[in-house]
């Protein structure tokens, strides 16, 4: 799972999330709202947190199993924490390689003939950094 900081950067860059069972997220509420649960990680699941598509957008509905009183929230109030495999899939045909280099993981992508490498001790973070670059170049 990637860091919250990188997840927020990906969201700000325009990464779109279509919630599926097993996806993890954190709350992303305005600065004037203070909840201790913002740092908690939640998992989309048919039993506890369901994704409901409505005409106005997707809502994450909490089915009464959490310890605090939140019925639902919009995707705008959530920060998706994509898994390593999801990040790799999002890189699509730009992905070239994942290598172990000493204590780090190196992800190599190719965009318009240019090969780029992104290193991080955590493979998911390296994938996330590569995806952030890809999104930035596609805008």
Domains of the chain, by residue range, sit at 18-80, 84-138
pLDDT band at 60 (very low <50, low <70, confident <90, very high): confident
Mention every residue, 6+ apart, whose C-beta is less than 8 A from residue 30: none
pLDDT mean over 97-102:
97
Determine the Cα–Cα distance for residues 127 and 123; give it in Å rounded to an integer.
6
C-alpha 6: how far from its chain's center?
Answer: 8
pLDDT of 86 reads: 97
pLDDT band at 67 (very low <50, low <70, confident <90, very high): very low
pLDDT of 33 reads: 57
- Residue 133 phi/psi, 5° resolution? -65, -45
Q: Is the pLDDT of residue 111 over 90?
A: yes
Answer with the residue of higher pLDDT: 51 or 35.
51
Judge whether 2 and 125 are in contact, CB under 8 Å.
yes
pLDDT mean over 57-84:
75
Answer with the residue of higher pLDDT: 7 or 70.
7
pLDDT band at 127 (very low <50, low <70, confident <90, very high): very high
Judge whether 135 and 10 are in contact, CB under 8 Å.
yes
């Amino acid at each position: 799972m990637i860091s919250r900081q990188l997840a927020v950067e990906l969201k700000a860059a325009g990464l779109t999330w279509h919630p599926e069972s097993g996806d993890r997220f954190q709350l992303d509420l305005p600065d004037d709202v203070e909840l201790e649960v913002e740092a908690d990680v939640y998992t989309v699941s048919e039993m506890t947190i369901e994704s409901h598509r409505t005409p106005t957008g997707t809502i994450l509905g909490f089915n009464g199993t959490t310890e605090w009183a939140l019925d639902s929230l919009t995707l705008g109030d959530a920060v998706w924490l994509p898994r390593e495999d999801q990040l790799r899939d999002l890189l699509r045909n730009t992905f070239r390689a994942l290598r172990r280099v000493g204590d780090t993981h190196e992800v190599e992508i190719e965009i318009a003939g240019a090969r780029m490498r992104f290193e991080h001790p955590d493979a998911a973070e390296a994938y996330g950094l590569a995806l952030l670059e890809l999104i930035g170049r596609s805008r």
